[in-house]
């Protein structure tokens, strides 16, 4: 065999050897798993057999279970329930009665202040509480105002200072008359009476005269004046003296006359009292006791 033939056989043998090696690798990996070269430094838990006496538990399964166990989720705190929203309650004024004065111009009702006083009463006879208000405006004028429950108001200017005092339904007719201090001096104050027969306020007068029904309250060393209310009107009291011992004591009864819308004098009496024996009656003459309190 010549050298050329020898080299050809060597080449053919080498090719056959390589093909055999490739065929062996293909047969070994015919299940499709990729071939991984052996690495002595790598550790495979799946291919390690348990040693004699060791537990037969599959550690890889344990590791996988540990790895996939999620931490217990935190339970959200229950949401707080919002308190129900409070709705502001606005009390609407009562509807105006038939024939009310709501359509007419009406003065503003004054707010609270140092020169504002008020009392309640049913001044229009509709069964709802109204207000008698005495006040001084920014220009210095004093007013007596009636503010009805449904929003209408009427007023009259008076000489001040003015203080609202009270109200009473004289005679039980269902409509109150208001009264207030409307003037004052060094030792006395005058009480005036106000009513609203329609949409305007008026100060009452004395029947048979044009005089306003104003009466003094208070007094000094030589005279004392007062009044107390009765069911259908009031009684004025007066005590005067020249010497401080002998006193002339006078009472006068007045009743409200609804048809005339004024007070009428019905009776009067005069007596002589002596101090100090009659001091309780004498000095009570300066008292103001209105309105009449229900029994």
pLDDT score of 65: 40
Cα separation, 10 vs 14, whole angstroms:
6
- Report pTM: 0.66
Residue 252 lies in a domain: yes
Query: What values do phi and psi take at 7, rounded to 5?
Result: -65, -40
Structural domain containing residue 218: 116-289
Residue 8 lies in a domain: no
pLDDT score of 85: 53
Residue by residue, DSSP assigns 121-146 as E-SSSSSS-EEEEEEE-TTS-EEEEE
Residue 161 lies in a domain: yes
Residue 210 lies in a domain: yes
Q: Say if residues 240 and 230 touch (Cβ distance below 8 Å).
A: no
Residue 28 lies in a domain: no
Total domains in the fold of the chain: 1
List, for residues 24-76, the tens digit of each pLDDT value: 776 766 554 444 444 434 344 433 433 444 444 443 334 344 444 444 444 44
Q: Say if residues 94 and 150 touch (Cβ distance below 8 Å).
A: yes
The ranges of the chain with pLDDT < 50 are 32-77, 80
Chain-centroid distance of CA 239 in Å reads 50
Residue 150 lies in a domain: yes
Cβ-based neighbours of 144, under 8 Å, separated by 6 or more: 132, 133, 134, 155, 156, 158, 162, 164, 178, 180, 182, 192, 194, 201, 203
Residue 55 lies in a domain: no
Residue 255 lies in a domain: yes
pLDDT score of 50: 39
């Amino acid at each position: 065999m010549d050298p050329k033939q020898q080299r050809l056989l060597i080449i053919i043998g080498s090719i056959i050897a390589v093909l055999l090696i490739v065929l062996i690798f293909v047969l070994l990996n015919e299940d499709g798993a990729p071939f991984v070269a052996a690495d002595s430094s790598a550790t495979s838990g799946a291919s390690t057999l348990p040693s004699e006496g060791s537990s037969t538990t599959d550690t890889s399964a344990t590791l996988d279970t540990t790895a996939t166990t999620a931490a217990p989720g935190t339970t959200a705190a229950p949401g707080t329930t919002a308190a129900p929203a409070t709705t502001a309650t606005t009390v609407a004024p009562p509807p105006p009665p038939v024939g009310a004065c709501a359509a007419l111009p009406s003065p503003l009702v004054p707010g609270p202040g140092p020169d504002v006083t008020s009392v309640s009463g049913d001044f229009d006879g509709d069964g709802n509480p109204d207000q008698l208000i005495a006040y001084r405006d920014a220009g210095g004028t004093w007013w007596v105002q009636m503010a009805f429950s449904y929003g209408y108001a009427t007023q009259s200017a008076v000489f001040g200072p003015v203080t609202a005092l009270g109200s009473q339904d004289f005679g039980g007719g269902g409509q109150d008359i208001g009264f207030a201090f409307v003037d004052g001096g060094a030792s006395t104050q005058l009480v005036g009476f106000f009513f609203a027969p329609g949409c305007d306020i008026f100060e009452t007068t004395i029947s048979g005269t044009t005089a306003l029904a104003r009466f003094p309250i208070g007094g000094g060393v030589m005279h004392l004046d007062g009044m107390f209310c009765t069911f259908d009107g009031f009684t004025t009291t007066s005590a005067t003296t020249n010497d401080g011992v002998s006193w002339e004591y006078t009472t006068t009864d007045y009743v409200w006359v609804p048809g005339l819308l004024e007070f009428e004098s019905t009776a009067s009496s005069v007596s002589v009292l002596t101090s100090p024996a009659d001091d309780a009656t004498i000095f009570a003459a300066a008292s103001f006791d209105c309105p009449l309190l229900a029994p």
